[in-house]
Structure 1
Amino acid sequence: MPQALYPLLSQAATILPLVRSHLAEAAARRSLPLGFSLDMVPILEEELLGYELIAVGDADTCLMLGCKPDGEPVLRKEFLTDVPPPPLQLVALDGRMIARSPRELPSRYGRRDLRFPDWPSAATFAWAELEMLFPGAPRRPPLLNLGRNVLLERALLAAATRLAQWNPSVHFCGLPNEEQLGYALYGAGGGRGELFFRHPDQWKLHWKSRGEVVCEAWSMVAPDFPLAENETATRESSSVQRISAHIKPPQ
């Protein structure tokens, strides 16, 4: 049987909340200028799975915290260039072609991967880099926009549980609002599927493998903040509502 690609759905459901929780914990001990806020976008880039740190403001460095298949924490640094933007790109949403702004794809160079012995060290170093990239006063602990990340992590965990017998690979492109476009799922045995989000609060899972079909939908409510220390995606909202269909081929 062909070997599944990294990351497996179960790995993504474990790694992403691990990255988020350590970044959130380390943030309480850092200070950034007033008005600074941080979004985290899931991305898979050359076998590095994690969150790209998208800060509000101008910076010439891109940071991504995650890990490769060996599980060792990695902080990836890349420099952004001022070259003219690339041509307009198109992506599909529900069969319709929509335009992506070229500003979403800045040119990068000088990639450097920094390895760390543990997650607290990696998260602390990431915040130290952000503090240097964003000087100025007055300062305060940074504002983190993590509600959507928590919902994604819970959805990944739910999907991994539902598809445990296949445990497919999942791919993240690092696009803004990618959950609305859908995350592609690939099985080692040829299965294909998709996990995607629909407003206001519904996740949908479609999967087909050798004639067996799984279709499932559920609703989740965004968590209240601030997050509890070391919160992970294992706490599912009590308001989850599920609609399931599991079709097996005739014997």
Structure 2
Amino acid sequence: EPKFIIMEYKNGPAKQKPLCLVGKGLTFDCGGISIKPSAGMEEMKFDMCGSAAVIGAMRAIANLGLKVNAIALIPSTENMPGPAANKPGDIRKARNGKSIEINNTDAEGRLILADALCYASEQKPGMILDAATLTGAMVIALGNIHTGFYTRDNNLRKKIETAATSSGELVWPMPLVDDHSKDMKGYYADVTNLAPSRGAGSATAAAFLEYFVDKDIPWAHFDVAGTAWHAGNRLAYAPKKGASGCMVRTFVEIAKTYK
């Protein structure tokens, strides 16, 4: 049964806009009707690692007693075929009123993140950071070494790089430009959940998410598809197999200096 999880931590100044963390919580993703190959599908239990990172960061923020106001939002479900499943060609309406054309049901994480980002924007936060095991394209681009992130805000980019350096996590800024946004324009709807070309698949996914964020709010998207699990050989504190906990430390470092 799908759930929308909201976590709140209030320990900062009353007038401080909250730091908002959003995590993709797909508890299992077989691709839906656009089903994945069976080989490797057992690893799709890790498709909730973005949400786990957000929950872990919130727990650490609370345990450290940081003087900050923070909100975590986690859309959680699984993506399975069935009589009520999304179908290719379906059109859905997001929380902000934008219509979405579903061209592939395996591009589902961005659909649940869309509503979460709309809700996040409604909270009028000072910053939105989202983490998601979103695309195989990111794995091809950066492997399991760096976590790629997207933002158009140069000040936020610098803060992220500084925080990641302090935490010991490796991140890499990726390009997000208007051409990526144009690729996500829909034919029958405002936007499509999958670009017509396979190129720049992680960037176009980020561009899709951007349609659901208030443009006045600093926002960054972390695609942790390559670093969320089985990255223990890169991270001394992580197990050799299983989830790595990537981005927990970076998010906590950002919270430490959040104003």
Shorter-chain TM-score range: under 0.3
So what's the TM-score if we normalise by structure 1?
0.28
Larger strand fraction of residues: 1
Rg: which structure is higher? 1
So what's the TM-score if we normalise by structure 2?
0.27
